[in-house]
Structure 1
Amino acid sequence: METVYDWVTLAIFAGLVVLFLQRSMGDDHRDSMLAYLAGAGICGLANYLGNEGHDLLATLLIVANLAFILLVLKPIDLRRRS
């Protein structure tokens, strides 16, 4: 746990784990396991690239991963908030 990429990707991954566990207890969501796997894989790839010095690409992957999580897994119901 030496770089900012370690901490940021770990926080995103922990959020994915909490979201998965919360939804696995309820009956209202039928998310695909592949969506969670993709989010976790992108976290790992962004962390690796960030640790190797590819800061721009790692940052873009982190932002894209957050957008993917918001649009595909929908942890927040944005329509209801409007």
Structure 2
Amino acid sequence: METYWDWLTVITFAGLATLLLQRSSEEEPQDELWQYAPPAIGCAVTNYFGNEGQHLIAGALFIGVISYIFVILKVRLPKL
């Protein structure tokens, strides 16, 4: 873990894995397993481009990953 892209994508992937585990333990899961593949692959591709110095591409991909998580997987931020 040498770059901030490493940290950013690993933290995002860990959150995604936690969300998958939490939702898969529900009696009636609201998501399908395949729905977690695009953001997981997106994290890997984002990390690759970020580590190659293509920061604009990596940033755009990361915004896409986060958008997918909030729009498709319908994650809601906790109320403060």
Tell me, yes or no, whether TM beats 0.5.
Answer: yes
Runs of 4+ in structure 1 off by over 4 angstroms are none
TM superposition score normalised by structure 2 = 0.90
TM (normalized to structure 1)? 0.88
Superposition deviation, residue 19 in structure 1: 0.2
Gaps of 5+ in 1: none
State the alpha-carbon separation in 1 of the partners of residues 71 and 17 from structure 2: 17
Aligned length: 78
Q: Which residue of 2 aligns with 1:53?
A: 53
Tell me how large the CA RMSD over aligned residues is.
1.4
1:18 alignment counterpart? 18
User: What percentage of aligned pairs have identical amino acids?
Assistant: 40
After the TM superposition, which of the residue ranges 63-72 and 28-37 deviates more from structure 2?
28-37
Q: Which residue of 2 aligns with 1:7?
A: 7
Is the partner of 2:63 in helix, strand or coil? helix
Once the two structures are TM-superposed, the CA of residue 61 in structure 1 deviates from its matched residue by: 0.5
Query: What are structure 2's unaligned runs of at least 5 residues?
Result: none
Give the structure with the higher percent helix: 1
Q: Does 2:55 match 1:42? A: no
